[in-house]
Structure 1
Amino acid sequence: MAAYMLVSAKIYNPNQFAEYGKKMEQLIKIYSGEYLAKGSISDILEGYFDKSRKILIAKYPTLEQIHDMWNSEEYKKIKKIRKDVADVDVIIIDGIDS
């Protein structure tokens, strides 16, 4: 069953975060993920969301592939680029069986 990774980021250094983003895009592809949405919040219909945060949604074929990517040595190296550059919240959402 597909799984989705949702990332919410408050970015303090856009140039350095862009370097992190490029490396993550490659890594996500290696683990069979694909971007579904990436960018700013377009509109808030209800509740509170910090519109200054950037949002990313990536789809993976399985939950295990997200965990494999997240726990990989490659990601541990890339994650260091993000240190002190952004505050990031990451969640995983299970897909729906069709």
Structure 2
Amino acid sequence: MAAYVVATVRITDPDRFALYAKGIAGLSERFGGEAVVKGPVGEVLEGEGLIGERVVVSRYPDAAAARAYLASPEYLAAAAHRVGAAEIVMRLIEVA
């Protein structure tokens, strides 16, 4: 069953975050990932949210592939650059 990783990202240090972005460029595709949505929030229609917060949605063949991507040594090495550079919430959604 398909799985999606939905991330909300508030970048606090663009220079350090760029090192993370560079480190993961093309990596999710090696695990079957496909970018579905990438972009900043332009308008909050309901509830509380931040204008400009980035949203990233990636589709994977299944939850195991998404977890393998996030547990890969390459991802973990890149994620070390993100510490202190962004506030991120990642969610895993499985779709039947």
**TM-score where L is the length of structure 1:** 0.88
Rounded Cα–Cα distance in structure 2 between residues aligned with 1:34 and 1:25: 12
39-48 vs 2-11, greater mean Cα deviation = 39-48
Aligned length: 96
Cα-to-partner distance string for 1:28-67 (whole Å, 9 max, x where unaligned): 1111101111111132221111223111000001100011
Rounded Cα–Cα distance in structure 2 between residues aligned with 1:74 and 1:24: 8
Residue number in structure 2 paired with 1:81: 81
Instruction: State the identity %.
Output: 27
Contact conserved, 2:44 with 2:50, CA < 8 A, in 1?
no
Asked if 1:43 corresponds to 2:48, the answer is no
**TM-score where L is the length of structure 2:** 0.89
Contact conserved, 2:23 with 2:75, CA < 8 A, in 1?
no
Q: Which amino acid aligns with 2:65?
A: Q
Rounded Cα–Cα distance in structure 2 between residues aligned with 1:56 and 1:22: 15
Cα root mean square deviation, aligned: 1.3
Rounded Cα–Cα distance in structure 1 between residues aligned with 2:88 and 2:19: 15
Query: How far apart are residue 16 of structure 1 and its match?
Result: 2.4
Query: How far apart are residue 70 of structure 1 and its match?
Result: 1.1
Structure 1: runs of 5+ lacking an equivalent: none
Residue number in structure 2 paired with 1:7: 7
Rounded Cα–Cα distance in structure 1 between residues aligned with 2:81 and 2:63: 25
Contact conserved, 2:42 with 2:52, CA < 8 A, in 1?
no
